[in-house]
Structure 1
Amino acid sequence: MKKATVLGTIFGLIILFFLMVNYYTEYLWYASLDITEVMFKPLIWEVTFKILFWAIGFAFLAVNFMPLVNLFDRFNHNLKVVDIKEIKTGFKVKRKHALLIAGVLSLLWMILIPSVWDRLLLALNATPTGNVDPIHGLDISFYLFQFPIYELLAGAFLSLLVIAFIGAGVSYFIVENFNPNTNNVKFELSSKGIAHLSVLVSLFLVWFIVTRSLQMYGFLLSDSNILFGAGYTDVNVRMLFLRIQQVLSILFLIGMLVNVKLKKKKIFMAIPISLIVVSLIGGIYAGINQRLVVSPDEESRETPYIAHHLQATKEGFNLDNINREVFPLEQGELSRNDLKAYEQTLNNIRLLDYRPLKQHYHQNQSLRLYYEFNDIDIDRYTIDGEHHQVMLSVRELDSDSIPTDTPLNRHFKYTHGHGVVMSPVNTVTSNGHPTYFMRNLPVETEVNIDLNRPEIYFGEMTDEFVVVKTEDGEISFDEKEVWYEGADGVELNPFRRLLYTVKYQKPILMLSNQITEDSRILYNRNIVDRVNKVAPFIELDEDPYPVVANGRVYWIIDGYTTSSNYPYSQPVNGKNYIRNSVKIVVDAYDGTVDIYQFENEPIIEGWKSVFPDLIQPREDFPPYLEEHIRYPLDLFDIQRNVLTVYHTDSPRVYYNADDIWEIPVEKYHGQDIEIEPYYITAQLPNLKQEEFLLINPFTPRNRNNMNAWLAAGNDGDNYGELFLYTFPPGEHIEGPSQVEAYIDQDPDISQQITLWGQGGSTVVRGNLLTIPIESSMLYVEPLYIISESRSVPEMRQVLLFYNDVLVMERTLDAALDRLFGVVEDGEEYVPYDPDEIVDRDLRELVIEINTTFKNAEESARQGNWAEYGSHMDRLAQLLTDLENEIDVDEFEQELDDIEDIDDMEEIEDIE
């Protein structure tokens, strides 16, 4: 026994030691950022609240268990078990046993209560919304802040009552009904037991009276087949019976309190039975009312409540102030000259698809085995006074690909990524590869975007801790030593080295001679994990995106405040209220986290009261990042899905479900996938200039034509504005899946795609974009080819669809010329002659063969054999394509036509 006690003590001390190490190192991290309040305030409130709960639970159970001590003394007196030595045996229940049981049970009860610090702090710092619920007239803040706490307290109190009632009830039953000497069992309850249990039932009745009100509020947060929230039966029947239950429960409570004195068994039994009967009658009557009164005339009965549901859902997802307009459709009116007014839109049509582009970056711009691109993001930059839409990605360190993966290399030498790669969305090379604004190592910039601090110590893939400012420094991409110059990190002394050795179980932290008095340890470097620690009350968008500004790389993460308690609002993924209340900026070099409030809404106002120094005002957002803020993808995705049902204001339309929308599909790798929201540059019909927009088309349910589209503004005063455009009744506009079907059915295009596929290549369709231009819609889809020999995608063709006409060309300009005609020397070019498609494609194919061959020669002269091999692989594929297109005689004729072409500029002139 003594040995077991010693081992248990040692085991407990070891666990305590590891806990203390974890808490202290967490404290050091928060202290390094000067935000220890974020660590201590939740901890203090949580511990205080749990201790208070334990004390209340212990006191309550002790008061109920202490009287049972004398009860078991009597039981022990009656218990006579005689052994062969005729020694009287039994067991003795002492007061300390009762207190121990009360302490253990209250401790378990406290542990099972969920974490409450966030709900408690919000409830204490609640901010009114100014909106009230349509049934009880309470401010919505009651449901967002107080109601969750009341529910938690009610559930905790009930569970404590149940523990006390079971403990007392079982004890009275055993002592008063079981005779161990005769094995006789009775079903009696003494007057003392009746009095004790009557007190507990009285407390239950108090709980029941209070929670009937909570249940009435909870009806506004309940689900049914028709709507989310209180319906006709809830408001007119169930709430009435809940009030009746409250009145009767008050009478029952008085009766039960009197019975504490009277100690009548019949009263004790009658009151709970009566309460159960009343509850059953209420439930049965509500069911009968629903079946006989509501169901025969359900639409009419539920109409006012459906109206509440529609309005609240729009409010919950910030769709109540959406700008709604009918799109002024005039298909067929545009010419090539008309498009000149939309030059910025056309110059920013996105030909690059993020999926093939990521493959290309990986193959051509990783440049080191240990660098990787986690994601491709889209943004816009002002370059030489012009708006350019770009795709970019950060070149991050992939710790799992470090050469010679030793603790020294992983944590001391290979510590950071380097630079970004950036491409304009609308241009590709003659080989179908992206062009670059920023690329290579060291970073080369083709435009006036400065990047003086390209090192990436904090990113989406930085999951390992690293030690910086070491004796020999870190390894950069050129194998030279560099030293971290940022302010972040925890300074290391011998004691802290010991703590971090224990925390990470890495002996090198204690043994390495690379650590100096200036060395620091950087951890929590993954930007999502980092922000979650800085602001655990904020939900983060799944797509952080990088911005190159002010000579550095910054990450911008959209943050949301959410709730599941907005009355009458339909939940999506468990939430029925969401706001993009903050934007978080993380410096990729030194890890600085800044949180800026972008929306005045009650939940973030509450958190500002809790952490007044953590959240900065909108006015302090850095000007150099202002032009890079975007409407968040996750929020837009939720809103577009909500709008498929809740675009209507009509309860009748909602009830009959005769105007449900769907998210259309597109083709990718031969599969139909749901179209993702996408950013474009375009001019909305009601705006005076082109803007950076996030858009999504809609189709009617089970139909493929497009009937509406949603756009979110990203620039200037229109940031955050939503525009919903519907098409005039009776107009048929092809939807994305119909355009995809036209591509599949076009004999010339489908034949060409088939030939590419038969040649050993994979044809990949890029994002199908719907672009509003003036009063019409233009569809754009790039076509990529991935050869068997090389996995790098190449953009080979551009597909355009407009006004029932589909064209495929090598370049966007050529496709626009084919589709709309071009004015040259005063003559209108005749658009889209299907008979010319093969000849034009053939000519361009021969031109590309010639260009690729010259590029290969140039690479060979420069000694760039990797690029030479790439060009030769491309040349082999082009020759295969050519062989599938023409016979030898035609090929020789085409070569004669272009034999005098000497350089790339002349080739482009021919195009």
Structure 2
Amino acid sequence: MKGIGKFSIFLVLIVLAIFIKVFSGLYVDYIWFKDLGYTQLFMTPIVAKIAIGIISFLIYFLIIGAMGLIIFKTFVNAEQEKPLFRRFTFHIFPHEDQPEEKVVTPLNKKKVRLVIIIASLLISLMLSLQTVGSGWMKLLEFINATGFGLEDSVFHKDISFYVFQLPFYNFVLNSLISSLSLFLVFSLFFFPLTGMIKIWGNFFKKGSLQIPRSIRRFWGGLMGILFLLISLRKILSMYGVLFSQTGYVSGAGYTEIHVTIPLSIALAVIGLLCAAFSFAFIFVNDHRLVLRPLIAYFIIGFLGTAAHGVVQYMVSNNEFVLERPYIEQEIKFTRIAYDLNEIKMKDYPGNADLSLETINKNRPTIENIRLNDPVPLKTVLSQNQGLRYYYRFNDIDIDRYQLDGKTRQVLLGAR
């Protein structure tokens, strides 16, 4: 007991030292921001990180804890359902009153549940810290989203949806899908290894896979939820074509409009069918209900990828005609993004007579016409001034200085 007490005191001191170090650094930053009048700028990220940390921790804990307890309960129920399955027991946390001469010891359910809860707390804490690092800015952008007053030409949604909302939706969906997929993969290995699932004959025939009802319910419900989330992600992936860099234009081109978007819709529909068959698997003991639509999902995905390549090849043979409207849209929105659409176009024919009087009147402008190009000048300076191999000219800067009372353009490079 004395050893445990000393270790506890030592652990508390370490935690206290870490807390003091972190808090002191934050307090100094707070004083600095407050002195500049930017207290809100300092507090907003901290509040956002704390909020998303607490929310993500609770969500992860509910998912991980619930899945862990459900897997354990499913295992216990399945073990008792049918005598043809080998009973699987652990030599972990045996009851204290268990006789020593018995080789097989039953599980102490209370202690197993306690271990599951503690493990869920630790895993949720690690995942929530990771979520805070990558998700706090997305949360703030989502909450404070402001409309651009401009719609895209493909889906006719305000541009703010793609900048502020879509990244947050994708972040939440990917987090949920990743956590649920982890438990599905774990259960797919765990239950067969316990000897509770048997394969008889041809795997693709009805009744060839013997699954206890409790495990079937668990898998059916979990896969149904996963397929619903995957279908939703496929729907959102359609909007991602506006960020595509794979075609001949940046954004949605001919291939994205005619292949990628229909393929995403088809995969979303197949995903919904997979979800429906997965939920039906809860009540019908036929694993082919899930197997067939799952195979169809991968086949359509493969065919869609192949079709994407074929259409891309067809576009390359008639690129200018097929991609012309999408190139025009790209130019249009690029001009809007940089306010170039506000530029007034004015033609200067350049047929005016050039006289000595005109030259003298515009001499400051003429003397500032740049004759040197910074790109070849950088190469020349590197060759002439590079006295040692470790001397380099990283770039050439262009500036204007007052020389002899006149503004002159100067090219400067630091060696």
Specify the TM-score bucket, using the shorter chain as the normaliser: 0.7 to 0.9
**TM-score w.r.t. structure 2 length?**
0.75
What is residue 101 of structure 1 aligned with on the other side? Answer: 119
What is residue 423 of structure 1 aligned with on the other side? Answer: none
Contact residue 398 and residue 411 of structure 2 kept, 8 A: no
For residues 667 and 63 of structure 1, the distance between their equivalents in structure 2, rounded to whole angstroms, comes to: 64
What is residue 259 of structure 1 aligned with on the other side? Answer: 281
What is residue 26 of structure 2 aligned with on the other side? Answer: 23
What is residue 215 of structure 1 aligned with on the other side? Answer: 237
CA RMSD of aligned residues (A): 3.8
Flag the 1:77–1:19 CA change in 2: closer, same or farther, 3 A: same
For residues 157 and 298 of structure 2, the distance between their equivalents in structure 1, rounded to whole angstroms, comes to: 30
Cα shift at 1:171: 2.9
Q: SS where residue 194 of structure 2 aligns?
A: helix
- Provide, for residues 552-598 of structure 1, a one-character-per-residue CA deviation record: whole Å limited to 9, x for no partner: xxxxxxxxxxxxxxxxxxxxxxxxxxxxxxxxxxxxxxxxxxxxxxx
What is residue 339 of structure 2 aligned with on the other side? Answer: 318
Match of 2:262 among 236, 240, 244: 240
Contact residue 132 and residue 138 of structure 1 kept, 8 A: yes
Cα shift at 1:110: 1.7
Contact residue 146 and residue 160 of structure 2 kept, 8 A: yes
The one-letter code of the counterpart of 1:14 is A
For residues 88 and 381 of structure 2, the distance between their equivalents in structure 1, rounded to whole angstroms, comes to: 83
What is residue 228 of structure 2 aligned with on the other side? Answer: 206
Is 1:131 aligned with 2:150? Answer: yes
Match of 1:767 among 398, 411, 414: 411
For residues 50 and 667 of structure 1, the distance between their equivalents in structure 2, rounded to whole angstroms, comes to: 50
For residues 380 and 266 of structure 2, the distance between their equivalents in structure 1, rounded to whole angstroms, comes to: 63
Which stretches in structure 1 are left out of the alignment for 5+ residues?
180-185, 352-661, 682-691, 696-765, 769-911
Contact residue 244 and residue 250 of structure 2 kept, 8 A: yes
For residues 54 and 10 of structure 1, the distance between their equivalents in structure 2, rounded to whole angstroms, comes to: 26
For residues 245 and 178 of structure 1, the distance between their equivalents in structure 2, rounded to whole angstroms, comes to: 30
The one-letter code of the counterpart of 1:767 is L
For residues 306 and 176 of structure 1, the distance between their equivalents in structure 2, rounded to whole angstroms, comes to: 60
For residues 378 and 353 of structure 2, the distance between their equivalents in structure 1, rounded to whole angstroms, comes to: 26
Is 1:168 aligned with 2:187? Answer: yes
Cα shift at 1:665: 3.8
Cα shift at 1:89: 6.3
For residues 127 and 31 of structure 2, the distance between their equivalents in structure 1, rounded to whole angstroms, comes to: 33
Identical amino acids, percent of aligned pairs: 20
- Provide, for residues 480-533 of structure 1, a one-character-per-residue CA deviation record: whole Å limited to 9, x for no partner: xxxxxxxxxxxxxxxxxxxxxxxxxxxxxxxxxxxxxxxxxxxxxxxxxxxxxx
Contact residue 61 and residue 120 of structure 2 kept, 8 A: yes
The one-letter code of the counterpart of 2:276 is I
The one-letter code of the counterpart of 1:162 is S
Match of 2:13 among 4, 10, 28: 10
Is 1:191 aligned with 2:213? Answer: yes
Cα shift at 1:5: 4.0
Match of 1:268 among 290, 293, 299: 290
For residues 37 and 345 of structure 1, the distance between their equivalents in structure 2, rounded to whole angstroms, comes to: 48
Cα shift at 1:325: 5.0
Contact residue 233 and residue 286 of structure 1 kept, 8 A: yes
- Provide, for residues 706-728 of structure 1, a one-character-per-residue CA deviation record: whole Å limited to 9, x for no partner: xxxxxxxxxxxxxxxxxxxxxxx
Cα shift at 1:677: 5.1
For residues 181 and 219 of structure 2, the distance between their equivalents in structure 1, rounded to whole angstroms, comes to: 11
**Aligned positions of 1:358-757 closer than 5 A:** 665-666=376-377, 670-671=381-382, 676=397, 678=399
Cα shift at 1:268: 3.0
The one-letter code of the counterpart of 1:341 is K
Q: SS where residue 146 of structure 2 aligns?
A: coil
Cα shift at 1:52: 0.6
Q: SS where residue 767 of structure 1 aligns?
A: strand
Q: SS where residue 128 of structure 1 aligns?
A: coil
The one-letter code of the counterpart of 2:335 is K
Flag the 1:72–1:246 CA change in 2: closer, same or farther, 3 A: closer
The one-letter code of the counterpart of 1:167 is F
Is 1:155 aligned with 2:174? Answer: yes
For residues 56 and 80 of structure 1, the distance between their equivalents in structure 2, rounded to whole angstroms, comes to: 32
Q: SS where residue 377 of structure 2 aligns?
A: strand
Flag the 1:71–1:239 CA change in 2: closer, same or farther, 3 A: closer
What is residue 490 of structure 1 aligned with on the other side? Answer: none
Cα shift at 1:209: 1.7
Contact residue 199 and residue 260 of structure 1 kept, 8 A: yes
Flag the 1:670–1:17 CA change in 2: closer, same or farther, 3 A: closer
Larger radius of gyration: 1
For residues 221 and 168 of structure 1, the distance between their equivalents in structure 2, rounded to whole angstroms, comes to: 37
Q: SS where residue 342 of structure 2 aligns?
A: coil
Flag the 1:261–1:102 CA change in 2: closer, same or farther, 3 A: farther
Cα shift at 1:30: 2.5
For residues 111 and 168 of structure 1, the distance between their equivalents in structure 2, rounded to whole angstroms, comes to: 26
The one-letter code of the counterpart of 2:130 is L
Q: SS where residue 670 of structure 1 aligns?
A: helix
Q: SS where residue 88 of structure 1 aligns?
A: coil
Cα shift at 1:137: 0.9
Match of 1:341 among 361, 369, 381: 361
Match of 1:302 among 291, 309, 323: 323
Cα shift at 1:248: 2.8
Cα shift at 1:334: 4.3
Contact residue 198 and residue 256 of structure 1 kept, 8 A: yes
Cα shift at 1:125: 2.5
Cα shift at 1:79: 5.1
Cα shift at 1:60: 1.4
**TM-score w.r.t. structure 1 length?**
0.37
Number of residue pairs matched by the alignment: 367
- Provide, for residues 76-133 of structure 1, a one-character-per-residue CA deviation record: whole Å limited to 9, x for no partner: 864589xxx8563656561111112222222222222234333322322322222211
The one-letter code of the counterpart of 1:248 is I
Flag the 1:99–1:169 CA change in 2: closer, same or farther, 3 A: farther
The one-letter code of the counterpart of 1:102 is S
What is residue 88 of structure 1 aligned with on the other side? Answer: 103
- Provide, for residues 25-70 of structure 1, a one-character-per-residue CA deviation record: whole Å limited to 9, x for no partner: 2222223233322222221122111211111111112221112334
Flag the 1:40–1:152 CA change in 2: closer, same or farther, 3 A: same
For residues 316 and 679 of structure 1, the distance between their equivalents in structure 2, rounded to whole angstroms, comes to: 29
The one-letter code of the counterpart of 1:299 is F
For residues 229 and 27 of structure 2, the distance between their equivalents in structure 1, rounded to whole angstroms, comes to: 42
For residues 65 and 19 of structure 2, the distance between their equivalents in structure 1, rounded to whole angstroms, comes to: 29
The one-letter code of the counterpart of 1:39 is F
Contact residue 74 and residue 215 of structure 2 kept, 8 A: no
- Provide, for residues 719-759 of structure 1, a one-character-per-residue CA deviation record: whole Å limited to 9, x for no partner: xxxxxxxxxxxxxxxxxxxxxxxxxxxxxxxxxxxxxxxxx
Which stretches in structure 2 are left out of the alignment for 5+ residues?
80-85, 93-99, 199-207, 384-392
Contact residue 88 and residue 195 of structure 2 kept, 8 A: no
Q: SS where residue 147 of structure 2 aligns?
A: coil
Flag the 1:178–1:197 CA change in 2: closer, same or farther, 3 A: closer
- Provide, for residues 220-277 of structure 1, a one-character-per-residue CA deviation record: whole Å limited to 9, x for no partner: 1010251111221211122112222222322332222222222432223333222222
For residues 327 and 135 of structure 2, the distance between their equivalents in structure 1, rounded to whole angstroms, comes to: 33
